[in-house]
Structure 1
């Protein structure tokens, strides 16, 4: 049975702005926010939880016997890369960048024209940046120097399309195996991925994912989908649940 573990990134500086109730979020937000100190601690704790010794005792719906990940992916957004690297360091797994795992909307800046916000897509860092700053990260061979995103803000109608493409790739590369795959990604696109698995309309649902929470989806060899749990925050004390 294929086990998929969707892991949200640690708290970012943008997350902190929204939690503080700032009414100036759009003017203060970062295009590609970093982790906060709390986010770094969350990443450390979830990495330790995922890396604890794994004992294969058969069916284990709550991972009481550990996780035993075999593969690890992350988006190319800084908060996901840093969270993924914390997990990679503890587990010894290679961390493979998957650009399409980015958050809904992609990389964009906000400019105010006649006091109205206009969202403008940004290129993001390119190949040399990742090679210099995150040499442990395995980046795609075709990642350009001009930026990994480098397009307009992603339109809302494309969210479910991209989510379906992510699901299709996961099933193509890992379906019919006993792989246990960690996917470090984002709360918004996670909801669309989950609704793609269950073939429901994402705009009618929101699936909460706290920072560094884990959600698990199992796929049987016959293609049956089982949601084992969502938004698992067991590794964290109360003050680190954000």
Structure 2
């Protein structure tokens, strides 16, 4: 019998994609917070604290990924480097590519969603200024699953998209794909609940189907161009 006073088991190590004296880049699992937040006050586990303990030194997040999003996440190993990289992101001197599994089949094979977004998606959009936002996308694959999520149809159509946001507005890809009538599977805030539940049961995986696959940036010290990639996890295999 396990003692109630036994220490909790150690948390799994994060997968390091890149590490030097200035940067640490991880492949963040879906479901892991980037840092502790008042919005999830009950949750103690977060990538920042895990990586800090794993490396034995302070780390600073350079950007954010939603809790449900997996993939490339960059930390700086000093406040100065974090500031420099944050500026590079703000000035769009980086590029990002995501994979998204969405509802329905896009009519075209590629396109650009140009739709301004309210600054805070948690507040009524009519009371906020709307900010410029564009997301380029291309359709990698169209699929049909033998799952009834709408009684009018005997199956469900899905598409695998590659998405490249020009800006980094909060939930930008999620909000843009909802606007395009192709919400991301597993998106509790911007998607369809019955569809998400039916597909989670069919696939045996409950997650937000959004993965930060690639981030390209210029190293703030060496000046080298870094292309940082996180391969999609095994749950993506049926769609690739």
Same topology, TM > 0.5? no
The structure in which a higher percent of residues are helix is: 1
**Bigger Rg over Cα:** 2
The structure in which a higher percent of residues are strand is: 2
Task: Give the TM-score taking structure 1 as reference length.
Answer: 0.29
